[in-house]
Amino acid sequence: MSIGIVQFGGSNCDLDVLHVLKDVLGVDAELVWYKEESLERFEGIVIPGGFSYGDYLRAGAIAARTPIMTSVKKLAEEGKPVVGICNGFQVLTESGLLEGALTTNEYPKFRCEPKYLRVETTDTPFTSKFKKGEVVSIPIAHMEGNFYADESTLSSLEDNGQVAFRYVDKDGKATDEANPNGSQENIAGIVSAKKNVLGMMPHPERASEEILGSKDGLRIFESMVEFISNK
């Protein structure tokens, strides 16, 4: 098993993800520069957080049009798991791999803090290690994490069980106060229709060891590894 971690100019969470996969989970993982055109050797892909190309035009817009994303799309079409974290989520929406868009936070300020999330589905390659309705703690770090989709798309995401995580308070209630960016329906992460592509604004790699204050994020990577191992 080998998992690729895509690097763009401006990525800054790539080494964190590499550490979690290689040093914490003991999985073969490799950094992959954006100019690479073949990802056939990988069983899964992570697009990490950062500020690819300085977030010029829109966050993730330039990265979504680099050569490597054609290969990411091909891998996703084959049913292999793809995760986009924070800026990676923005890249996935800009490239059309996920629906909706990420816009500037309702209060236009960079926010970096722990947040409570409610697990909305366990029927994905990334959430099988959780219990549905479980409240977990995973930090955010973004200024453009406000998830937007039209009413039809929102209804489809809800009806098809594509909402993976929702911002909530410590009691699991999806309140306005618990929503850090104004995302519609408090959405923190979604999956594709086939459920093998996940985009989420919170950073699971920053909640993968006890020393960081939470290990809740580790289960996302564990779920992904287990899914690959069982294929």
Q: What is the pLDDT of residues 54-113, one digit of tens each?
A: 877 788 889 889 999 999 999 999 999 999 999 999 999 999 999 999 999 999 999 999
Write the pLDDT tens digit of every residue in 17-61.
999 999 999 999 999 999 988 899 999 999 999 998 887 778 888
CA distance 141 to 139: 7
Q: Where are the alpha helices (DSSP H) in 109-149?
A: none
Residue 43 Cα distances to 2, 52, 173, 212, 229, angstroms? 6, 24, 36, 28, 9
Q: Which residues are catalytic?
A: 86, 203, 205
How many C-beta neighbours within 10 Å does residue 194 have?
12
The CATH architecture assigned to 2-229 reads 3-Layer(aba) Sandwich (3.40)
Q: Where are the domains of the chain?
A: 2-229
Q: What is the pTM of this model?
A: 0.96
Within 13 A of 111's CA, how many CA atoms are on the CB side? 22
Enter the tokens of residue 179: 């929503």
Write the pLDDT tens digit of every residue in 111-169.
999 999 999 999 999 999 999 999 999 999 999 999 999 999 999 999 999 999 999 99
CA distance 216 to 139: 10
CA distance 64 to 89: 10
Report the SS3 class of residue 227: helix
CA distance 52 to 14: 11
